[in-house]
């Protein structure tokens, strides 16, 4: 079986899109994903399964929590590759909460990629975009929303600290 890391987009943002993680784990077990683990309240799920987990998790979140947002899914091995490919290793050490990775729903079209090449603090690698926020996230014009618009793709962002915790959690399965 494959260990999957699923990243839910736009859940538990203030008072909207509430998805309690304990309830999500229970609903996922009912849907055929027993033993799902969650990390934090921002919609991080780790599960071992041979099923196609992305559509299944999205359906559970939509049907039980009335939140219909994309779910980005990567295998545990792919997450390890993403961590190893980090183009900003100094930022990962010095400011791990300001180094972020945006997980895209699909590979971007080649003509769209050019719109990111002008930014020194942004690097695209396959379906992931690394962003070094340097000194602040809020109010920074280079952010996941900008990247998603320019690439015309949905994405969800996690900081480096969270990625390392997710990888560690995935390796417990």
* Radius of gyration, CA atoms only, the chain: 16
* Residue 74 φ/ψ, nearest 5 degrees: -135, 145
Q: Please tell me the predicted confidence (pLDDT) of residue 117.
A: 78
| Distance from C-alpha of 123 to C-alpha of 131, rounded to nearest angstrom | 7
- Tell me what the mean pLDDT of segment 31-35 comes to: 96
Q: How far is CA 18 from CA 38, 42, 68, 98, 142, in A?
A: 15, 10, 11, 25, 27
pLDDT of residue 149: 92
Asked if the model's pLDDT at residue 15 lies above 80, the reply is: no
Question: pLDDT at position 13, please?
Answer: 67
pLDDT tens profile 36-87: 999 988 889 999 999 999 999 999 999 999 999 999 999 999 999 999 999 9
**CA distances for 99 relative to 1, 29, 83, 131, 138, angstroms:** 31, 33, 12, 6, 13
pLDDT higher than threshold 70 for residue 14 = no
Q: How many helices (H) and strands (E) does the chain have?
A: 7, 8
Query: pTM of the predicted model, to two decimals?
Result: 0.94
- Per-residue pLDDT band for 134 (boundaries 50, 70, 90) equals very high
pLDDT per residue as tens digits for the range 104-123: 999 999 999 988 878 899 99
Query: What is the pLDDT at residue 101?
Result: 98
Higher pLDDT, 137 or 41: 137
53 alpha-carbon distance from chain centroid: 14
Two structure tokens written together for 166 = 């997710």
Residue where the block lists tokens 């961590």: 83
């Amino acid at each position: 079986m494959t260990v999957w890391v699923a990243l839910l987009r736009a859940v538990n943002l203030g008072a909207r899109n509430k998805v309690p993680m304990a309830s999500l784990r229970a609903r996922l077990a009912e849907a055929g994903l027993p033993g799902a683990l969650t990390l934090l309240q921002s919609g991080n799920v780790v599960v071992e399964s041979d099923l196609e987990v992305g559509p299944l998790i999205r359906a559970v979140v939509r049907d039980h929590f009335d939140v219909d947002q994309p779910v980005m899914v990567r295998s545990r091995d792919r997450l390890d590759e993403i961590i190893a490919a980090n183009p900003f290793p100094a930022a990962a050490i010095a400011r791990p909460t300001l180094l972020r990775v945006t997980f895209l729903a699909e590979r971007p079209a080649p003509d769209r990629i050019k719109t990111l090449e002008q930014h020194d603090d942004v690097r695209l690698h396959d379906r992931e975009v690394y962003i070094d926020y340097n000194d602040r996230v809020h109010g920074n014009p280079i952010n996941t929303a900008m990247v998603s618009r320019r690439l015309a793709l949905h994405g969800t962002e996690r900081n480096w600290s969270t990625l390392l915790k997710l990888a560690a959690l995935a390796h417990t399965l």
